[in-house]
């Protein structure tokens, strides 16, 4: 069985951990990207373009409807940059650099294909993103021909996920919360912790699902923000890869269903569009689907739905931190030592979570005040760190697919318990969020927004 990371139970954390452990390398890799972006050395990272009929359009850069060039060279630089950067870590972690680079190259090409499939215009309208296609492409290979051994050397799921999460920290900007006022904060932050705790207790105690990490990953995906929360929770709770695959798969399917059904339901029952938008913002898992569903109820509803979801997105830093803390202090604690000391918690805490929070604090309270929100959000995050983070997550999902098999996935679904957990948890989430949306946007706790 694989786990997203194996925590050292050693009581002493030697200095050599700084260059031997993947957790620390995730922080170094991410901070090299941050440094490159802030210093202006890396100004733009290639994004895969959209296409309708001709898939090669994904390589074209288009401005105002006119083709201005292509991204072949910049994709080569991205491959080289990511490959060489991670190769340094691979070397110090005493793995095989040459074999890694070959495997990485093929996984990078599979990631381009996954990204391209997700960027077909009608496919993008459905909401099937790179996470879905990455998993499907990887699963297709691993469950038919099997993943070749030479390719397995590039399958570094944990490294891609952890580095992506430290980069994601830069997008969790706490200063935004202060600007966005009480109603959105109430809907997003009042309901989420209650739903996570309810789902965790329900899954472990009532459904008696043996794997606590599976319960936690499904709970985080349902209550926070789908795929990104599932990744963060899986990494923080030491989840197995097939558990993450299962949670992501369910979240993606229900996201599409809810995006299609919720707007007409809100109209049919005559619910106020703003309350309905806040309701969708708090319940539909993926951000893109929330914005799309919100737009169905009008321009103002779209704004409310998007911002409620954005505030919920920002919560994942704290959620991941508390999950990691709960796991090291309670779930994986030493049975002879029921109350671990702060020192022990520090030793066992996954360090990339610390990097995740540090990067969030660095961007929120140092870089934005120093450089200005516009420059940081558009040039540093928008052009560089967010794009690299998406590439790393895409590499991670292809890798997860390459390491998963349908038999293990089917084993997780025995008795349909994960599905019951998702459906019951999401139903509870829907009821509680509707109440919170009515209190916050219905003129009860705050003045009506329109």
DSSP H/E element including 29: helix 22-38
Please identify, using beta-carbon distances, which residue of 303 and 333 lies nearer to other proteins: 303
Q: How many CA within 13 A on the CB side of residue 327?
A: 28
304 touching other proteins, by CB under 8 A = yes
Question: Of residues 208, 299, 337, 339, which one binds other proteins by CB under 8 A?
Answer: 299
Cβ closer to other proteins: 215 or 380? 380
305, two tokens: 């739905």
Tell me the closest approach of the beta carbon of residue 281 to other proteins, in angstroms. 10
Q: Which of 288, 298, 340, 442 binds other proteins (CB under 8 A)?
A: 288
Residue 272 interacting with other proteins (CB under 8 A): no
Binding mask 222-241 for other proteins (x = CB under 8 A): ---xxxx-------------
Of residues 203, 207, 224, 206, the one with CA closest to residue 215: 203
- Between the alpha carbon of residue 10 and those of residues 6, 343, 346, 447, the distances in Å are 12, 12, 12, 55
By CB under 8 A, is residue 287 in contact with other proteins?
Answer: yes
Residue with tokens 């074209």: 60
Residue 98 binds other proteins (CB under 8 A): no
Q: Please return the burial class of 339, using the count of CB atoms within 10 Å of its CB with bins 0-12, 13-18 and 19+.
A: exposed
Q: CA 53, CA 448: separation in Å to the nearest integer?
A: 45
- Nearest C-alpha neighbor of 226 from the set 194, 198, 251, 190: 251
**Among 100, 128, 160, 186, contact with other proteins (rule: CB under 8 A):** 128
Q: Which two tokens stand for residue 92?
A: 């110090």
- Pick from 309, 348, 351, 417 the residue near other proteins by CB under 8 A: 309
**Both tokens of residue 294?**
């919100």
Least Å distance between CB 296 and other proteins?
A: 5
Query: What is the rounded CA–CA span in Å between residue 287 and residue 167?
Result: 18
Distance from the Cα of residue 283 to its chain's centroid: 16
Residue in 30, 306, 324, 396 binding other proteins, rule: CB under 8 A: 306
| Residue 171 touching other proteins (CB under 8 A) | yes
**Residue 127 within binding range of other proteins, rule CB under 8 A:** yes
148 interacts with other proteins by CB under 8 A: no
Rounded to a whole number of angstroms, the minimum distance from the CB of residue 201 to other proteins is: 27
- For position 96 contacting other proteins by CB under 8 A, the verdict is no
**Residue range at the interface with other proteins (CB under 8 A); choices 196-204, 280-288, 341-349, 399-407:** 280-288
First to last CA, the chain: 53
Which CB contacts under 8 angstroms, 24+ apart, belong to 28-31? 28/89, 29/85, 29/86, 29/89, 29/163, 29/166, 30/163, 30/166, 30/167, 30/169, 30/355, 30/359, 31/166, 31/355, 31/359
Nearest approach in angstroms of CB 13 to other proteins is: 31
Q: Measured from the CB of residue 309, what is the shortest distance to other proteins in angstroms?
A: 6
Do the beta carbons of residue 235 and residue 403 sit within 8 Å? no
- Residue choice 69, 264, 369, 416 for contact with other proteins (CB under 8 A): 264
Q: Is 26 or 290 the residue whose CB approaches other proteins more closely?
A: 290
Interacting span for other proteins (CB under 8 A) from 34-42, 73-81, 144-152, 423-431: 144-152
| 205 touches other proteins (CB under 8 A) | no
- Applying CB under 8 A, does 118 fall inside the site for other proteins? yes
Query: Does 57 interact with other proteins (rule: CB under 8 A)?
Result: no
DSSP class of residue 184? H
Q: Which residues are bridge partners to 70 per DSSP?
A: 60
Contact 221/227 with Cβ under 8 angstroms? Answer: yes
33 binds other proteins, rule: CB under 8 A: no
Which of the ranges 90-98, 171-179, 196-204, 323-331 carries the binding residues for other proteins, by CB under 8 A? 171-179
Distance CA 121, CA 267 (A): 27
Residues that bind other proteins (CB under 8 A): 50, 117-118, 120-131, 136, 140-141, 143-146, 168, 171, 176, 179-181, 183-184, 225-228, 259-260, 263-264, 286-289, 291-293, 295-296, 299-300, 302-304, 306-307, 309-310, 313, 377, 381-382, 386, 390, 393, 446-450
């Amino acid at each position: 069985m694989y786990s997203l990371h194996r925590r050292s139970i050693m009581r002493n954390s030697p200095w050599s951990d700084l260059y031997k452990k993947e957790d620390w390398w995730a922080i170094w890799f991410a901070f090299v990207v941050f440094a490159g972006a802030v210093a202006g050395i890396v100004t733009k990272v290639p994004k895969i373009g959209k296409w309708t009929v001709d898939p090669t359009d994904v390589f074209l850069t288009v401005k105002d409807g006119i083709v201005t060039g292509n991204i072949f060279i910049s994709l080569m630089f991205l491959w080289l940059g990511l490959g060489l950067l991670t190769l340094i870590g691979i070397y110090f972690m005493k793995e095989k650099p040459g074999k890694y680079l070959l495997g990485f190259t093929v996984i990078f090409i599979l990631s381009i294909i996954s990204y391209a499939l997700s960027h077909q215009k009608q496919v993008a309208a459905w909401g099937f993103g790179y996470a879905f296609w990455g998993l499907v492409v990887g699963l297709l290979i691993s469950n038919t021909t099997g993943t070749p051994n030479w390719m397995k050397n590039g399958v570094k799921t944990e490294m891609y996920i952890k580095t992506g999460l430290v980069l994601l920290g830069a997008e969790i900007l706490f200063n935004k919360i202060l600007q966005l006022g009480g109603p959105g904060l109430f809907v997003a932050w009042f309901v989420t912790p209650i739903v996570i705790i309810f789902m965790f207790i329900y899954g472990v105690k009532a459904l008696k699902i043996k794997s606590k990490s599976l319960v936690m990953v499904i709970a985080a995906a349902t209550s926070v923000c789908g795929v990104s929360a599932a990744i963060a929770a899986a990494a923080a709770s030491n989840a197995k890869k097939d558990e993450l695959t299962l949670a992501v798969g369910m979240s993606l399917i229900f996201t599409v269903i809810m995006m299609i059904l919720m707007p007409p339901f809100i109209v049919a029952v005559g619910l106020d569009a703003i309350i309905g938008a806040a309701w969708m913002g708090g319940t539909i898992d993926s951000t893109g689907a929330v914005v799309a569903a919100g737009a169905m109820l009008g321009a103002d509803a779209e704004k409310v739905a998007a911002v409620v979801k954005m505030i919920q997105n920002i919560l994942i830093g704290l959620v991941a931190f508390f999950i990691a803390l709960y796991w090291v202090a309670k779930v994986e604690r030493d049975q002879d030592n029921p109350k671990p000391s702060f020192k022990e918690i520090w030793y066992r805490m996954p360090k990339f979570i610390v990097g995740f929070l540090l990067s969030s604090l660095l961007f929120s309270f140092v870089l934005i005040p120093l450089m200005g929100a516009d420059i940081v959000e558009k040039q540093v995050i928008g052009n560089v760190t967010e794009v690299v983070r998406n590439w790393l997550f895409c590499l991670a999902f292809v890798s997860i697919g390459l390491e998963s098999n349908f038999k293990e996935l089917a084993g997780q679904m025995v008795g349909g318990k994960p599905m019951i957990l998702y459906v019951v948890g999401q139903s509870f989430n829907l009821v509680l969020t509707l109440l919170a949306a009515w209190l916050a946007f219905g003129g009860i706790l705050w003045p009506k927004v329109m």
